[in-house]
Structure 1
Amino acid sequence: MASVLNFFRRQLTAYRNLGVEPGMADFEKRSHYIFNFMLALTLAITVVYATIPYFVLNITHVGLNHVINGSLFIGYAFCVALVYFRKPLASRLIFTTLVQGHIFVFTLLLGWQIGNYLFYLALPALPYVLFHKSRFGIAYAFLTGILGFGASFAVKKYNLQFVAVTPAMYDGLFLIAFASSFSVVFMVVRLFFKLSRETEIRLQHEKRRSERLLLNILPAEIAERLQNGENTIADHYPKVYVLFADIVGFTQLSSQTTPDEVVRRLNEVFSLIDILVEKYDVEKIKTIGDAYMVVAGIPKSRHDDAGRILGFAKEMLEMVKTMNALELRIGIDVGEATAGVIGTKKFIFDLWGDTVNTASRMESHGEPGKIHVTERVVAGLGGEFAIEERGKIIIKGKGEMKTFFVR
C-alpha cells in the first residue's frame, strides 16, 4: 500500500513540475504550478459534466453532452501535451479559448439559469496568472473574457436555450456550477498562497544563510550597517589591540608536502583558532597565507580588551604546540587605527594605520613560541601577565624600539 501511495505521490510531483525548468524564477514556477493545477481541475470538471446525465437522469446513450465534454477533454489534454513539449504560451492560449467556449456553449444550450456565469468570478485572474510576461496573452485573455461574458449575457437577454431542462435539473446544474466555480476560486487562491508561503520560507532561509555568511567576514555591527544601506563604512578607533600570528616554517613545510596536506593542516590549525576567537570574543579580520590577524576593541572598546587579546594569544600558542610540533610567532601592538569595508565584490573588513604596521613588525621580529609586544601594550596590562623585557632592537621601518615578551 505504501509503495502504491509513493508511486502516486511521485506522479503528482512530476505533473506539478511539468514545464518547470532549472533556474526558473519563483513567480514563473508559481505560474506553472497554478496552470497545471487548473488544467487538472478542468479535466475533472469535464468528466463530471459528462457523467452527470448517466448518474442523475439515467441517460445511457451517447448524446450531445458527451460529445461536447469529450471534445473539451481532448482539448485540455492537448494543452497538457503542449506543456510537456515546452510550448507554454500556445498551451495557455488554447486553454483560455476552451474555457471561454466551455462556459458559453453550455450557457447557450441549457440557458442562463444553469449558473455557468459564476465561472466568470474566477476568470479575471487568468491573464495575470497565465500570461504575466506576455502582453499579447494578457490582451487575448481579457478580450476572450469580455466576448464570452457579453455572449453569455446576450443568452440571458434574448432568453436563448436549445435544450429543454426541467426546474429540478436547473437547481441541480446551478448547484454544480456554484460548487465548481467556488472550488476553482478557492483552490487557485489557496494554491497561490501556499506557493507564496513556500517562496517566503525559502527567501527567509536564504536570507539567514546570507546573513551567516556575512557574519563570517564582517563584525555583526558592521554587517548590520551594510545591510541597512550604508555604502561607505570607515571608522576611526582610538584604541585597538592588533595581533598577528604566523606559523613558523610553514612555507618550507608546505614545499615538502602535497597541496592537499598543506590545505588540510592549515585548515585544522585555523579552525581551532576560530574556536578561540569566539571564546575570547575578539574579532578575526583575515588570514594571509599562513598568517592570522585578530583585533580587540572593534567595533566597541571594552575595559578587558588587553586581557582578552593576551589570553587568546597564550591559549593559541599552547594549542598549536600540540599539533605536529608546529609553533607560532605572535606580535601585538595597541593604538589608534582606521577600519572599514573595502570593495563591492569579495569585500573585506580591514584595518590601516601605524598600529597595524607595528603589530606586523612585532610578529616578524619576534621569536617562535613567544608573544612579542610593544611598550604600549605593556603599559595597558595588569599584573596577571608575566613580562620579560627584550630590550631595544632595530625594527624594520620603525627604527630602534623597546619591546617585550609575554611569558
Structure 2
Amino acid sequence: MAEDPKYQRIHRALAPFFAMLCLVSLPFLWMSRLAGIATAFAAIGWLVVYGLLRLDRVRAARWLTSALPVLHLPMVALALGRPVEAHLYLLVSVGTPFVLYPRSERRMIAATVVAFAASYLACEVWVSTHAPWLSLDPGSAAAAHSVIVVGAVLFALVIAGYTAVTGWNADAALAAEHTRTESLLRNVLPARIAERLKRDPTAIADRYAGCTVLFADIVGFTRMSERMPAAELVGVLDEIFARFDDLADAHGLEKIKTIGDAYMAAAGVPEARPDHALAAARMALAMQDVIAGLADRHPGLRIRIGLHSGPLVAGVIGRRKFAYDVWGDTVNVASRMESHGVAGRVQVSAATAEQLGAALRVEPRGTIEIKGTEPMAVFLIVPPS
C-alpha cells in the first residue's frame, strides 16, 4: 500500500522549525561549550533531515529524526542541570513520531517513543541527584530556562495544533464519506429498504398483494448498436434511461433494473399503493413521449412497453453488490406483455386493464398465446388526446 504523502509534507515543514528552535537557543546555550556545540550540530542535523526528505530519502530522514533529540537534549540537560529544564523537550517529543511517521512504521514509532521516554527518565534522575556540569549565574540560568520553556511550549502547541486539525479533517472526511455511502446505498436500494438493511443485515423479503410491473424494451436496438460507435451507443442509452429514472421518481415507481436495452420498474413496492396500475400506466405513456421527443436525433427509435398487475415477492439479494429485485408470475407475465407487444404502444393484461377502470381508455387487441399459460386477452392503452 502506498504511503500517505502527508507525513512527508509534515516532516519537511517541521524539520526547519526544529532547526530554527536550535539556532534561537544557541546564543543562550553557548555559555556551556558542550551544550552549544551539541545544539549547533542539532541545527545542522535538522537541516540534513530536510535535505534527505527533499531527496526522498525518507527512511534515513526518519532514523535521523529519531536520533537527534536523544543525542542532543541529554547533553544540554546534563551540562546545564535542573535550572534550565532542557529535558522537557524529551517529554514533549514523545508525541512526535505519531505525527511524522505513518502507522506502517510501528517498529520505528515504538523504538523512538521508548528512546525518548528512557532518555527523559535518565535525565530526570541525573539532574535531580547531581550538580550540573556548568554552574550558571542566576541571570544566565533564567534566560536559558525561558528560551527552552518557550520553545518547548511552542513545540507542544505545534504538535497539539496539528493533532487537532488532523482530527477535524478526519471527522470531516468521515462525514463526507458517510454521506457518499448513504447516497450510493440509496441509489442502489429504495430508501425504506436501505434503512431496514442498516438496522438488520439479514435477508429482506416481502410479499405484496397488489403491484404492477412495467417492462420496456427498445425496438431494433441490436441492429442500431451494430452501426453505432460504442461511446455514442452508451450515451444514447444513458440519456434514455436517465429520463426514465426521472419519470419513475415523478410517478412514484421503483426502478428495479436495466438489462441491456430493457428497463424494468414496479409500482406498489416497497410502499403499497392502491393506484399502482394507474401510476405505472401514466409512466409508460410518459416514456413513449420521451422516445418520441428523441425521434429527430434518432430516427426510427421506438419502444415496446408491457404492464401486468398482481401479487409478487420483493427483496434484497447479494452480499457484495446488493440488488432489490422482484419475483413471481406477475413479473413473468409483464415481461411477456412487453415481448409480445406493439412498437410505440403500451400493452397491458386484462388484470391491469381492470385496475385502470375508467381512468385511462384501453382498446382490446385480442388474445395472444403466452408460453406456460392459457391464451390471454390483452389491451392497448389509448394515449390521451
Q: Same fold (TM over 0.5)?
A: yes
2:348 to 373, 382, 389: 373
Taking a change above 3 Å as real, the CA distance of residues 51 and 304 of structure 1, as seen in their structure-2 partners, is: farther
The equivalent of 2:308 in structure 1 is 333
Taking a change above 3 Å as real, the CA distance of residues 142 and 326 of structure 1, as seen in their structure-2 partners, is: closer
2:338 to 363, 381, 384: 363
Look up the SS of the partner of 2:325 in the other structure: strand
1:399 to 347, 369, 374: 374
The equivalent of 2:362 in structure 1 is 387
Offset at residue 105 of structure 1 (A): 1.1
Look up the SS of the partner of 1:116 in the other structure: coil
Aligned residues: 377
Taking the aligned partners of 1:365 and 1:48, their CA distance within structure 2 comes to 88
Q: Which moved more, 1:281-290 or 1:193-202?
A: 193-202
Taking the aligned partners of 2:257 and 2:37, their CA distance within structure 1 comes to 74
2:140 aligned with 1:165:
no
Is this contact kept in 1: 2:90–2:117, CA < 8 A?
no
- Which 4+ stretches in 1 moved above 6 angstroms? none
Offset at residue 243 of structure 1 (A): 0.1
Is this contact kept in 1: 2:304–2:345, CA < 8 A?
yes
Q: How does 1:308-323 map to 2 (within 5 A)?
A: 308-323=279-294
Q: How does 1:154-193 map to 2 (within 5 A)?
A: 154-193=125-164
Offset at residue 87 of structure 1 (A): 4.7
Offset at residue 376 of structure 1 (A): 1.4
Taking a change above 3 Å as real, the CA distance of residues 107 and 303 of structure 1, as seen in their structure-2 partners, is: same
Taking a change above 3 Å as real, the CA distance of residues 72 and 237 of structure 1, as seen in their structure-2 partners, is: same
The equivalent of 2:328 in structure 1 is 353
The equivalent of 1:299 in structure 2 is 270
The equivalent of 1:204 in structure 2 is 175
Is this contact kept in 2: 1:79–1:95, CA < 8 A?
yes
Taking the aligned partners of 2:124 and 2:63, their CA distance within structure 1 comes to 23
RMSD (Å) for aligned C-alpha atoms: 2.7
Taking the aligned partners of 1:100 and 1:168, their CA distance within structure 2 comes to 27
2:222 aligned with 1:251:
yes
Q: Any gaps of 5 or more consecutive residues in structure 2?
A: none
Q: Which amino acid aligns with 1:50?
A: L
Offset at residue 405 of structure 1 (A): 1.4
2:23 aligned with 1:39:
no
Q: Which moved more, 1:84-93 or 1:336-345?
A: 84-93
2:237 aligned with 1:266:
yes
Is this contact kept in 2: 1:30–1:192, CA < 8 A?
no
Taking the aligned partners of 1:306 and 1:131, their CA distance within structure 2 comes to 59
Offset at residue 245 of structure 1 (A): 0.8
Offset at residue 350 of structure 1 (A): 1.6
Taking a change above 3 Å as real, the CA distance of residues 232 and 168 of structure 1, as seen in their structure-2 partners, is: same
Taking a change above 3 Å as real, the CA distance of residues 49 and 217 of structure 1, as seen in their structure-2 partners, is: same
Taking the aligned partners of 1:301 and 1:154, their CA distance within structure 2 comes to 77
Taking a change above 3 Å as real, the CA distance of residues 85 and 229 of structure 1, as seen in their structure-2 partners, is: farther
2:77 aligned with 1:77:
no
2:81 to 84, 97, 111: 111
Q: How does 1:141-156 map to 2 (within 5 A)?
A: 141-156=112-127
Is this contact kept in 1: 2:277–2:355, CA < 8 A?
yes
Q: Deviations over 1:157-209 (max 9, x none)?
A: 34322334221222222222222112212211110121222223223223322
Q: Deviations over 1:329-381 (max 9, x none)?
A: 11011111122223334442221110000000001111112111112112222
Offset at residue 134 of structure 1 (A): 4.5
Q: Any gaps of 5 or more consecutive residues in structure 1?
A: 1-21
Look up the SS of the partner of 2:377 in the other structure: strand
